[in-house]
Amino acid sequence: MMNLLFPLLGYFLGSLPFSIWVTRFVKNVDVRDAGSGHATTTNTIRQAGFGWGVLVFILDVTKGFLPAWLAIRYSGETWLIALTAACAVIGHCWTIFAGFRGGMGLATAGGSILAVNPLAFLVCFGLLVFLVLVVRHSARASVFAGILIAPVLWLLNFRDVVFWVALGTGAVIAIRFLIDWNRKYRELWLDREKPG
């Protein structure tokens, strides 16, 4: 029964909608009213400025890092660590504190992976950047990244708990970003249209 506390903690920490709170505090607006309509770092930058966006990014990484680290520290069970990390990302994407309309989960997933293995985090980040540059559409690149991070880690001999964390969080990321597959709007530095 105690084991269930870690996934629940992951979900509730992940659910803390920092981008919504920050933009409401700074500009008295809902961050979801612009851009993608999601509670993301990018939308925070768009509405509240770069510095506030950096703060939101750090907080979103932390809310993935902390529950995964606690599960590692006080449980050590592979399945429980992976489930806790996935629940943190689920909480970020479907937050109970904001009508189940949250963000996209990349920073929170990254925080979870960082807590388990910093080198694996760098591999996953590099894969995401590579896919964004190749696909030229951030939502589609993120779907592919969610699907591919676990197999890539496996091929690079990351076959311990970080593989399972990547598998769980990657599945949530892929599902979440599928809703933006046909996204038309431009991000701040992604999804640039090719000149006609």
Report yes or no on 195 lying in a domain: no
Q: Give the whole-angstrom CA distance, residue 66 versus residue 64.
A: 6
Place of tokens 């990321």: 173
**What pLDDT does residue 112 have?**
98
Find all residues with CB under 8 Å of 17, minimum gap 6, and list them. Answer: 39, 95, 97, 98, 102, 103
pLDDT of residue 35: 74
Q: Kindly tell me if the per-residue pLDDT of 194 is higher than 50.
A: no
Task: Specify if 173 maps to a domain.
Answer: yes
Structural domains counted in the chain: 1
Q: How confident is the model at residue 13 (pLDDT cuts 50, 70, 90)?
A: very high
146 in any annotated domain: yes
Residue 185 lies in a domain: no
| Mean pLDDT, rounded, for 132-148 | 91
Identify the CA nearest to 185 among candidates 176, 177, 193. Answer: 193
Considering the domain boundaries, does residue 75 fall inside one?
yes
pLDDT of residue 96: 96
101-120 pLDDT tens trace:
999 999 999 999 999 999 99
Residue 90 pLDDT > 70: yes
Residue with tokens 């770092």: 41
Task: Flag whether 62 is in a domain.
Answer: yes
Q: Return all residues near 182 (Cβ < 8 A) that are at least 6 apart.
A: none
AA identity, residue 12: F
Confidence bin at 185 (pLDDT 50/70/90): low
Report DSSP state, residue 103: -
Question: From CA 63, how far away is CA 180, in angstroms rounded?
Answer: 24
Q: Of 193, 134, 143, 135, which Cα lies nearest the Cα of 172? A: 143
* Rg of the chain, C-alpha, whole Å: 16
Q: Is the pLDDT of residue 137 over 50?
A: yes
Residue 186 lies in a domain: no
Rounded Cα–Cα distance for residues 168 and 189 (Å): 28
> What is the domain extent for residue 97?
2-178
Residue 47 maps to a domain: yes
Mean local confidence (pLDDT), 116-132: 97
Cα-based angle 17, 99, 70 (whole degrees, multiple of 5)? 45
Kindly state the average pLDDT of the residues 27-56: 90
Of 3-7, 70-74, 159-163, 169-173, least confident by mean pLDDT is 3-7
Query: How far is Cα 69 from Cα 176, in angstroms, rounded to an integer?
Result: 24
